[in-house]
Structure 1
C-alpha cells in the first residue's frame, strides 16, 4: 500500500524568512510559491513550508505516497487508525489525508500524480 516518502512539511511562523533559508539550504528557488504553501523539489521529493505554524522538532509532517488516497485512507481506518484529516484534493489532482495511528502518531498520505519516481535519488 505505501509506496514511499513523497513530502515533508514544516510549519513556520515567518514564511518569507523560511523560504529564503530553505532556498539557501536546497540551493534552489521553490518551484511552488504561494502565501499558503511554498514547495521545493529536492531529489525527487518535496520539502514544503506552511505559514503560521508552530515550529518544533515534532513539527514535520511527512506524507507517504499511495496510489489511491480514498482507498488507502479507508484501509488505514479499517486497521484501527482514527481519522485526523479527511482526504482533500489540494490542486492539480493531488490528494492528501492523515490519520492518528493506534499509538497516537500522525500518519499522512499523499496521492500525487505529478510525483516522478525516476527523479528519486
Structure 2
C-alpha cells in the first residue's frame, strides 16, 4: 500500500475533477499533506474521498456526509455511523419513491391530455401528423 497519492492520481482513479477534490478539501472533508504547492493525499484521504463520492451518488448533502464522517472519528464511532447511514438511506429511498409516484401520476395526466387532443382532432377531421 502506498503512503501518498497525488491529486492527479485520485482524479483518474475516481473520475472526478481536481476542482471537485479541492472543493471537498475546502469543505474540510479531506485534509491532504502539503509539500509546497503540492497536495499529497494519504490512504485515509483516499478512503474518505471514496466515502464522500458514494454519499453524493446516494444523494446525501455535504452536511450529511460531514456528519457521517465525523461520527466515524468520534463517538458513537462506526456503529453510530452505520446507523446514521441506514437512517439516511431510508429517508432517501422514501423521497425517491415519492418522486416515482409523482412522475407516474404526471405521465398518466400527459397520456390523458394527449388522448383528449387526439380525440378532438379526430372530431375535427384533422390528422395529428400535420
The alignment's TM-score, normalised by the length of structure 1, stands at: 0.26
Q: Which has the higher helix share?
A: 2
- Richer in strand (by share): 1
Higher RCO, Cα 8 Å, sep 6+: 1
Q: Which has the larger radius of gyration?
A: 2
